[in-house]
Amino acid sequence: MHVKAKIIAFGGLLLALTVLFMMLGGIIETNTLFLLAAASYFAGIMIRETGLRMGAAFYLAGVLLGFFLVPNKFYVLSYAAMGFYIVAVEFIWRKMGNLPARYRKKQVFWIMKYLIFNLIYLPALLFFQELLFSGKLSAPLLIGAFLAGQIGLLIYDKAYEYVQGHIWTRMRGRFLN
């Protein structure tokens, strides 16, 4: 099989799984966050296998297909935010290869991750409280939601690194060889 055709078929398979996971988030309510996170991880897999341009196109296709096919549009917005984080983090990782050796790449990378996350999370937390919660939050609850989001990012990011480093590296040969 031609290499381009194989990658396109692989992308189509991952895109179908992405939309399926978004739909399943509405059906299996107890695992919604897990399924949406897993759907966004497919964008990262596509970026690492095909490059940033093709991965970004995959991410946009997932968002557009989600808006057309998934009944609960809030889940599509959640996937869009999670996927954007993945695309931005992968972009920054690629750009950090040009960073001089005197910088501590790991620390700079984590600072950039938290900046990206908070650029997504803080506007949602401050301006769309009624959408996320059942009304306006008091100041202590708002601070608690902010801190919970930071802890959630740590868990989400560690899970993404685990999926990419362990699960996908083991399964990669079954799909792409």
- What tokens does 152 get? 């959630």
Closest CA to 47 of 160, 150, 170: 160
- Per-residue pLDDT averaged across 40-61, rounded? 93
Per-residue pLDDT of 78-131, as tens digits, reads 999 999 999 999 999 888 877 666 667 788 888 999 999 999 998 888 887 777
Model pTM score? 0.87
